[in-house]
């Protein structure tokens, strides 16, 4: 029964040409990959839950999309994550981990390009 309802729903979506909406609800996407040059305001990743966190020179929109704040090269880093002591994550996840283990989170960073020809007066002093 559930399978037929799902197939019916999918056929309706195909008929209405909203296949992109169905894919958007299921998946998260990278719009920019590691080592790629991006401009300020470019969307780096779209997500529904926190899979990637904003790092240096990266902003986060109201819908958890990550975008570049400055022109530069995209870099992905894994950093040690220490949750706040009274958070849900520290109460439920940390107590189940073996001693000595650490949590890692993926951060998206933008390494800004060097600005050429600006601040001439400061360099002259």
Which residue has 């958890």 as its token pair? 64
How many Å apart are CA 21 and CA 5, to the nearest integer?
Answer: 18
Q: How confident is the model at residue 5 (pLDDT cuts 50, 70, 90)?
A: very low
How many Å apart are CA 53 and CA 78, to the nearest integer?
Answer: 10
**What digits encode the pLDDT tens for the residues 17-46?**
555 554 455 556 677 788 899 999 999 998
Segment 99-110 mean pLDDT: 90
Of 32, 43, 37, 39, give the one whose Cα is nearest residue 67. Answer: 43
Q: Is 46 exposed, middle or buried (0-12, 13-18, 19+ CB in 10 A)?
A: middle
Segment 64-84 mean pLDDT: 92
Range from 5-14, 24-33, 104-113 carrying the lowest mean pLDDT: 5-14
The yes-or-no verdict on residue 120 having pLDDT over 70 is no
3-class SS of residue 39 = coil
How many Å apart are CA 95 and CA 32, to the nearest integer?
Answer: 36
What local confidence, expressed as pLDDT, does residue 122 receive? 61
What local confidence, expressed as pLDDT, does residue 94 receive? 82
DSSP 102: -
How many Å apart are CA 24 and CA 63, to the nearest integer?
Answer: 13
| Domains along the sequence of the chain with CATH | 26-112 (2.40.50.100)
């Amino acid at each position: 029964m559930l399978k037929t309802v799902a197939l019916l729903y999918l056929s309706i979506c195909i008929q209405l040409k909203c296949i992109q909406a169905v894919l958007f609800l299921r998946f998260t996407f990278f719009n920019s990959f590691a080592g790629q040059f991006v401009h300020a305001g470019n969307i780096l990743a779209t997500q529904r839950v926190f899979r990637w966190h904003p790092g240096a020179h990266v902003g986060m929109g109201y819908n958890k999309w990550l975008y570049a704040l400055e022109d530069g090269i995209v870099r992905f880093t894994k950093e040690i994550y220490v949750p706040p002591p009274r958070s849900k994550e520290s109460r439920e996840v940390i107590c189940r981990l073996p001693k000595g283990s650490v949590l890692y989170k993926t951060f998206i960073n933008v390494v800004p390009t060097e600005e050429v020809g600006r601040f001439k007066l400061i360099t002259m002093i």
